[in-house]
Amino acid sequence: MRRITRRRPSPAMIVAVIALVLALGGTAVAAGTIKLGALTNGAKNKTVGVGKLTYVSVQQTYNTSPNPNEGFKLTASCPSGTHPLGGGTKLLSPAFDQSNFFLISDYLSSSGYTSQFFAGSNGQADVVQVTVACAVSRAVTGSPPSA
């Protein structure tokens, strides 16, 4: 029967364990000092309010032909006191392969998200949905690009 012998840990292993203990201790100390109200006013002005994200969607059915020369516009607007962060356009038509939908442009505005597109025909109605994500922020700088 073989006897199990214990070896002493190498100096590299001792240094590695000490470094691990110090790193974990430093993380614990840092986490304990950062509290919810610890942000300065300057930092609060640059952050979006936690838990105050709002999504707004609007949809419309288009079945007219011909389309206007500049296409249709559909806008999802943010509620009062919130600012748009981003958005998107989605085609909800059941028969995508027969759709005449064509996105010209979509963009943020100061109050929401606007999409400009061609849609619908005499033979196929297109249902278009525009969604905007809105949030509360203490300070807003700059403005979205013009359409």
Domain ranges of the chain: 9-38, 48-137
Cα 25 to Cα 129: distance, rounded to the nearest angstrom: 51
Residues 6+ away with beta carbon under 8 Å from 12: none
Residues 60, 84: contact at Cβ < 8 Å?
no
Task: Quote the pLDDT of residue 58.
Answer: 95
Q: Where are the alpha helices (DSSP H) in 34-112?
A: 41-45
Task: Quote the pLDDT of residue 31.
Answer: 66
> What is the 8-class DSSP label of residue 58?
E
Task: Quote the pLDDT of residue 101.
Answer: 83
CATH number for domain 48-137, candidates 3.10.20, 3.30.70, 2.40.10, 2.60.40: 2.60.40
Cα 87 to Cα 114: distance, rounded to the nearest angstrom: 9
Question: pLDDT digit of tens for each residue in the chain (147 aa)?
Answer: 677 778 888 999 999 999 998 888 877 776 666 665 666 776 666 666 555 788 999 999 887 777 788 888 999 999 988 888 899 999 887 777 777 788 999 999 888 999 999 887 767 788 899 999 988 876 666 666 665
Written as six digits, the tokens of 143 are 């403005």
pTM of the shown model: 0.63
Residues 51, 85: contact at Cβ < 8 Å?
no
Helix/strand/coil for 127: strand
Task: Quote the pLDDT of residue 35.
Answer: 62
Neighbour tally for 3: CB within 10 Å: 4
Task: Quote the pLDDT of residue 95.
Answer: 75
Task: Quote the pLDDT of residue 73.
Answer: 92
Cα 147 to Cα 145: distance, rounded to the nearest angstrom: 7
